[in-house]
Structures are given as C-alpha cells and as structure tokens.
Amino acid sequence: MATKTTNNSTKVVGKILSVVHKLIEYFGRWFYLLTTYYTGRPEPLPPADNPIILMKSLTALSIMIRLKKLSSESVVKAYIDRIRKIQPVLNCLAEDRFEEALEEAREYDRILNSSNAPSIEELEKEKPFFGVPFTTKDCIAIKGMKQTAGLVLRKDTRAEEDAEVIRLLRKAGAIPLATTNVSELAMWWETSNYLYGTTRNPYNTCHIVGGSSGGEGCLQAAAGAPFGIGSDIGGSIRMPCFFNGIFGHKPSKGIVSNHGQYPCPHCEEQYKLLAIGPMCRYAGDLKPILKIIAGENASKLNLDEKVDISKLKFYYMEDDGGQYLVSPVSKDIKEAMNKVIWYLTWNHKVKVEKVQIKKMKKSLALWLANMTSPEGKDFAYELSNRKKRINIFWEFIKWATGTGEHTLIALITAAFEAFGIKYNSEERSKLLQETRDLNEEFRDMLGKNGVFLYPTHPTPAPLHHEPLLKAFNFSYTAIINCLGLPATACPLGFSNGLPIGIQVVAGLYQDHLTLAVAEELERDFGGWVMPNTKTEQPGE
C-alpha cells in the first residue's frame, strides 16, 4: 500500500512539473522571440558561386577527380572560397588549414598527371577519396591543429597525432580542410563557447544548429565541404543533422575507433555511448565514408549487402510516451513520420507496426545513469581541463560578473551532475539493468531485418539560448546511444522554414539497413535543400 501511495505521489508531482515546464516553455519562447526582434533579422547566405563543384556529392567528386574531369586543387579551392564566404554569416569554423590543404591537393594532382600514375581501378580500391577535402568537429584530432573542445583552458592545445578516423581518411586520399565549432566540452545541444562564439543556423540565423557537432552540421548544410565527421554520445551527430537538414549516421557501438576524440570516456558505459560517424548532404555518401572510417570492423556490417526494403520489418513510435520535462513532438514532425509510413505501406507493401515501448519514457534517466562518471571525474573535473574539480559556486560568480571562462550551461551541467546519480549507487545499478532489459526488448523486436522509426528531436531548431528551457529534449537521441544501435538521421522537409526529419534505427551491426532506408527516403522526400541565399551586389 505504501509503495502504491508513493507511486501515485510521484505521478502527481511529475504532472505538476510537466505543466510548469510547459508554461515556462510557452512564455520563454515569447521572450526569446521578442529578443530576436530587437537583435536583428535572419541573414541569408551568399550564393554558391561554383555549383558545378559545390553541388556534387562526395561520390561524384571522387569519380571526377580520378577521371581528371576536375583537379583536386580546383575542388579544394572551391570549398575554401565557399567557407570564407559563409563563415562571417554562420560562424561555423574553429580553425582552418587552407594552405596545407591546397599544397596537398597540388601534390595529388601531380601524382595523377605523372607518367607512373596509379590506374583508375587502383585509386578506386586503395584511395577512393583521392584528392577530396573534408572537415571535422574540433573534438577530433588533426595533427598540428588545435583541439580545444570549446574549452578556454585548451585554447593553445594542439593535437600531436591524427585521430584514428582522420588517419584512415587520409589513407583513403581525403584532405582535411578545417575543424568546426562545438559546444563547450561537447556536452550541450547548442553550439556555443567562449573561444569561438555561437554558430548560427543556415536556414534561419536566429536559430540554433544543435550540438555538439553543430558547426559541422551547419557547414555541411551550407555546402562548405563534401562531407564531415562528427561524434555522438547523446545525439551530437543526429541533432545537428536534424536541425540543419542533412544526413548523419551514428554507427553501431564499437565499430569506429574513438581514439583521438576529446574528451575521451572515463568508463566502459561512456565508451559504449560514444560513436564517431559521417555527416553529409547526400544519403548515398554515408556508406562509402563508413566503410573507410570503420577500418577492419567494416566487415562486421555487411555494407555491400543489397537491401530489399519490402522484406524489412518496420516499427515506429510517434513520441516517447510522455516523458516529464520533455517537449511534446510537434505536429509537423508527426505528420512527416506519417508520410513516411504511408509511403512505405503503399510503395513497398510493408506493414509498419506502431509499438509502445514503456521504458522509452525513462530515456533521460537511463542515459544519465550510463553517462555517470566515476567519483572525481565528473563534469566539474572536465571543466578544469582534467586538472582538478572547479569550484562551481565561485565560477557562477565569475560568470555573473563577466569574468568567467565557462558558459552558463556548462556550469549548470556541472551543478546538476553534483546532485545527480552517483557512480556506485544502487539507483544507478537498477537503471543500468533497465538499460540491459530495454536492449533485449529491442533485440527481440528488430532481429536482423527490423527497422525502428523514431523522432530525432521533438521540435524544429529552437531560437538561440532557448534550449535552456528545453534542456532534456535530447533524450530522443540519447536513448539510442544507451542501446548502442546504429541510427541514421534523415531530413524530411521543413516546418516554418526550418528542417525536420526522423531517425532510422536498426539492430546491432545492421547499419546497412538504416543507410538503405535513408537512401530510399531521400529519393521520395528530396533530402537536403540548399538554404536561402542572397544575390550579391557589386562591391559586396
């Protein structure tokens, strides 16, 4: 009887909190809208001056360079020019290596035009990305470049070696072009820090780009590189892809090496959450990128296996079941989901089954339990650049007086964690067991030919700083990290001018299924769309 009374009391408190949260969201949005009205209108992007190069897919550019239809130098130069034009509007860059990239491109062209140049077949097999530039988020190491993770204390930190994923891409012939902006220590879903500032959405600069791979998602959407690399511990690839209308893939756990990513995990649970993956404009480019960055593990994924969409089992949920302190899924996102279901039903004659997985309502609690750091290694420790735990109270005072080095949300995160679940607590053990139970439920449901459709995020991109009022909306992506399953973010059009979409999830190591569905949805729903641009006047 006492347990039943306690449960009822918890539900009442939860409902009250939910109502209060909705009121805060409602009035807070009006506040941010008014702020935006006074701080300036959305700014359009400069036009893409070289569409012959900038609008091509990675796959197409690779072929054209191998066939000498385009030089590597011309491709690299086109993207450098593009980045230089969009950077003042979007602020998506951390650091560039333009001169080094141009020199590497010229060397590739010399090799290709030499008397002993490798054959087209050799290049396709050994260096499939020969001469093609790419970008990556600041958290992923490129030798000699800054690796700050958006932390002021790391402003002069330079990587001593390439991250494993960068090494593999270089080996495949790709040329690193620049690093992109992130949230402070990659732990928030708006990209903003005190080193590089705030990144702005290319579809409406008054709105966010997501995080932590937000600079990368933004740059890709604005046609600033053929492809990019992000990392995802709670949605940091998929949310920026969702907010910026591009494709992104979080691979199955353990497939892509995390070596060279900062911050690196402190425990096994965190390591399983973290995944490095591709971000790009065209769904067909995800698979070749994943093949390269997976290294020897690519053989586990059956990426060359042909997928018959009509033979797959499809399941979906429109929302998480009503999690407290999480925004309801918007009407436009639900309608986009229903259009996908209708398309699959009528064009591929498959039954798309609606399911109600009760544990999804505990997504946030499960992720927080898996994310909990060992004692002394929490976020307050990370904010000191792993020297000691910061004094959170003192840092709040410094922030309030404009003398601090940390963003408000970073300090709130550190304070929240200080009162959260403890690493060796019984509560955490129970939640970890619930995670394993949920994993079994998904394994039984999906098998080797099942696909799960789920919202990537409950709303389109909020206004800048508005995520403070919707802090836990990332739970839609975070729960998939807990399961370690592959998930592909797919754009599905727009809501009031801002991109929307869903994530496609499959069983462990069944990445080829989500990638195949992404390509199918791109064919029917159009995929990436170039953001609005302005026609430049003489003298601009």
Strands 275-280 and 352-354: unpaired
CA atoms within 13 A on the CB side of 445: 21
Tokens for 250, please give them: 């979080």
The count of C-alpha atoms lying within 13 angstroms of the C-alpha of 217, restricted to the half-sphere facing its C-beta, is 39
From the candidates 77, 137, 250, 362, give the one annotated as an active-site residue. 137
Q: What are residue 502's DSSP bridge partners?
A: 455, 490
Cβ atoms within 10 Å, residue 434: 16
Active site residue 4: no
H/E run at residue 410: helix 408-418
Q: DSSP 3-state assignment of 505? A: strand
The answer to whether 212 is a known catalytic residue is yes
Pick the catalytic residue: 71, 236, 252, 327? 236
Q: Which of 212, 231, 257, 373 is catalytic?
A: 212
Let me know how many helices (H) and strands (E) the chain has, helices first: 19, 13
Distance CA 349, CA 342 (A): 10
**Pairing verdict, β 175-180 and 133-137:** parallel
- H-helix segments, 191-307: 214-221, 238-244, 268-273, 286-293
Q: Where are the beta strands (DSSP E) in 406-497?
A: 450-455, 487-495
Task: Provide the β-strand partners of residue 140.
Answer: 261
Q: For residue 175, give the amino acid letter.
A: I
Nearest to 234 by CA among 199, 188, 293: 188
- Is 291 considered catalytic here? no
Q: Who contacts 130 (Cβ-Cβ below 8 Å, separation ≥6)?
A: 62, 65, 66, 72, 108, 112, 123, 172, 173
- Name the token pair of 200: 């702005």
Residue recorded with tokens 């330079």: 158
**CA-CA distance, 308 to 316, in Å (whole number)?**
19
The pairing of beta strand 175-180 with beta strand 192-193: unpaired
Enumerate the active-site residues. 137, 212, 236
